[in-house]
Amino acid sequence: MNILKEQNGSELVIKLEGRLDTSTSPQLEEELKTALEGVGLLVFDLCALEYISSAGLRVLLSAQKTMNKQGSMVVRGANEDIMEIFDVTGFADILTIE
């Protein structure tokens, strides 16, 4: 999986490419530990994300919780499969999906 970061002032866009699964989620979790400092708006660009696992969802949830305290978080570009996952797991209600 590739994690591409684009910082624009206090806005951080993270583009995820490939699979966010059990083996790659810790990588994103690690990345977020430092990357979110001073970020007011976090945007997850999922247009190149093919798959998300429960571990990946947990990392998104934890990012959402962090951003709830310091700003906001938006998820965009999720494909149909991933949108369905967001729906059935109830993440569609928790995340702000564009």
Q: List all residues 6 or more positions away from 15 whose beta carbon is below 8 Å from its beta carbon.
A: 2, 3, 4, 5, 6, 45, 47, 48
Q: For other proteins, give the closer residue by CB, 41 or 94.
A: 94
The residue count for binding other proteins (CB under 8 A) is 20
Residue window 13-32: x/- pattern of binding to other proteins, with contact defined by CB under 8 A: ---------x----------
Is 96 a binding residue for other proteins by CB under 8 A? The answer is no
Cα 10–chain centre separation: 17
Contact residue for other proteins among 39, 67, 85, 97 (CB under 8 A): 85
Residue type at 58?
R
Give the shortest CB-14-to-other proteins separation in angstroms.
19
List the structure tokens of 19. 């699979």
